[in-house]
Amino acid sequence: MTKVNNIKTKVVVIGSGPAGYTAAFRASDLGLDVILVEKDKTLGGVCLNRGCIPSKAYLHLSHVIHDAKEAKNFGVNFNNPTIDINKICNWKDSIVKNLNLGIKDLARQRKIKIINGLASFLSANKISVKDTQKKKVTIEFDYCIIATGSSPAKLKNINTNHSNIINSTQALSLKKIPKKMLVIGGGYIGLELGTAYESFGSKITVAEFLPNLLSMADKDLVNPLFKILKNKFENIFLSTEVINVEEKDKTISVTFKNGNKLFQDSFDVVLVSIGRRPNTKYLNLDKAGIHINNKGFIPVNEKRRTIIPNIYAIGDITGEPMLAHKATHEGKVAAENISGLNSIFNPLAIPSVIYTNPEIAWAGYTEKELKNQQIKYNKAIFPWSASGRAMTTGNTTGKTKILTSEDNSKILGIGITGSNAGELIGEAMLAIEMGANIEDISLTIHAHPTLSETLANASEMLTKTITDLYIKN
Indicate which residues carry an active-site annotation. 448
Q: Among 387, 147, 182, which Cα is nearest to 266's?
A: 182
Q: Among 241, 4, 218, which Cα is nearest to 122's?
A: 4
Length of the chain: 473
Greatest CA span in the chain, whole angstroms? 84
Amino acid at 332: K
CA 326/CA 98 separation, integer angstroms: 23
359-369 burial string, b = 16+ CB within 10 Å, else e?
bbbbbbbbbee
411-447 burial string, b = 16+ CB within 10 Å, else e?
bbbbbbbbbbbbebbebbbebbeeebbbeebbeeebe
Q: How far is CA 98 from CA 40, 51, 53, 68, 196, in A?
A: 17, 15, 12, 28, 23
CB proximity list for 425: less than 8 A, separation 6 or greater: 351, 353, 361, 362, 363, 414, 416
Q: Classify residue 325 by burial, with Cβ atoms within 10 Å: 0-12, 13-18, 19+.
A: middle
